[in-house]
Amino acid sequence: MIRFVDVHKSYRVDGKDLPALQPFSLDIADGEVFGIIGHSGAGKSTLIRLINLLERPSGGRILIGETDMTALGDAELRAQRLRIGMIFQHFNLLSSQTVADNIAFPLRLAGERDAAKIRTRVDELLQRVGLTEHVNKHPSQLSGGQKQRVGIARALANRPSILLCDEATSALDPQTTASVLELLAEINRELKLTIVLITHEMDVVRRVCDRVAVLDAGRIVEHGSVADVFLHPTHPTTRRFVNEALPEEAAGEHALYAHIPGRILRLSFRGEATWTPALGRVARETGVDFNILAGRVDRIKDLPYGQLTLAMQGDGVDAALATLREAGIEIEELAR
């Protein structure tokens, strides 16, 4: 769907080229929610703005379907951009216009002049984002979450096939963030829209994304399914992001386990394995003792998962671990 081929990007500042994105290639599949996570300045906005060519790459190609975006003339590019909606951290609404006019704006921009058609489409969009009663308000009369819903309705107006979200929930409180993410997930499911979402919060990735790329100082240092990256992060930057979401497993905390006898193990359960009583059964059968040091059961998008840190001791530990692995439980031994 979206394909970056050997893309890189530098900004020219005071006669010097400053690299913002090192050469990378990346494919984003049709219909997925793809997350890009990174700290401030990592190059996230640059990367997402390359997709609709709000920024031009310094080299390489960007393909959407079969279309090479980097080869288009101005008129063709304008037409392609109608297929790509975008929402922003600070909403970017027109403050002097009503909710209805903000949502109608891209329809008018695309050449629609029929007032009845515009009205019908605006009503549909208001219903989709749950703002029907707010149609005649101005942005200053709305909460942050409501403003972002207007932003989403506006982005969807021309029925795009791609929605780009640049830190769309970063200005919102946790509860409002959850409801906006739920709306994005619903739009992805029901409209089969491809969503590219950038964020600095692992929790946002965990709740809605299918796959994720981790951006660190202009480089993609890790990418894969959210479950793989979240349960088994390999790059130090990814580990820090994951640990923010799992504070009890914060980096360096393993030292706290130094005085605890036995082997320190982290068990990851995915899907059905999350609910099976494997641990108790294996302990009975092999006679090992275990002690739970940290743990959490939650969901990665729709996938239930559990992650437990255990101290395990006894003669049967190796046999116990072999049985747990056979049951589909992923096991890592933590260094101490």
Where does this chain touch ligand ADP (CB under 6 A) — which range of 35-43, 134-142, 284-292, 296-304? 35-43
Q: Contact between 160 and ligand ADP (CB under 6 A)?
A: no
Among 35, 38, 145, 160, binds ligand ADP (CB under 6 A): 38
Nearest distance, CB of residue 219 and ligand ADP, angstroms: 12
CA distances from 281 to 46, 158, 287, 308 (A): 51, 56, 10, 16
247 binds, among ligand ADP, Mg ion, none (CB under 5 to 8 A by kind): none
What is the distance between the alpha carbons of residues 26 and 118, in angstroms, rounded to a whole number? 37
Among 2, 28, 42, 125, binds ligand ADP (CB under 6 A): 42
Q: Contact between 169 and ligand ADP (CB under 6 A)?
A: no
Q: Which is nearer to ligand ADP, 11 or 275 (CB)?
A: 11
Among 4, 45, 233, 320, binds Mg ion (CB under 5 A): 45
Among 46, 98, 307, 309, binds ligand ADP (CB under 6 A): 46
What is the distance between the alpha carbons of residues 105 and 112, in angstroms, rounded to a whole number? 10
3-state helix, strand, coil split of the chain in percent (to 5) is 40, 30, 30
Amino acid identity, residue 310? L
What are residue 27's phi and psi, to 5 degrees? -115, 135
Which structure tokens are listed for 263? 């082997």
**Residue 8: Cβ within 10 Å count:** 16
Q: Contact between 50 and ligand ADP (CB under 6 A)?
A: no
Q: Contact between 45 and ligand ADP (CB under 6 A)?
A: yes
**Residue 156: Cβ within 10 Å count:** 22
Residues 203-242 that bind Mg ion (CB under 5 A): none
Where does this chain touch Mg ion (CB under 5 A) — which range of 20-28, 37-45, 65-73, 169-177? 37-45
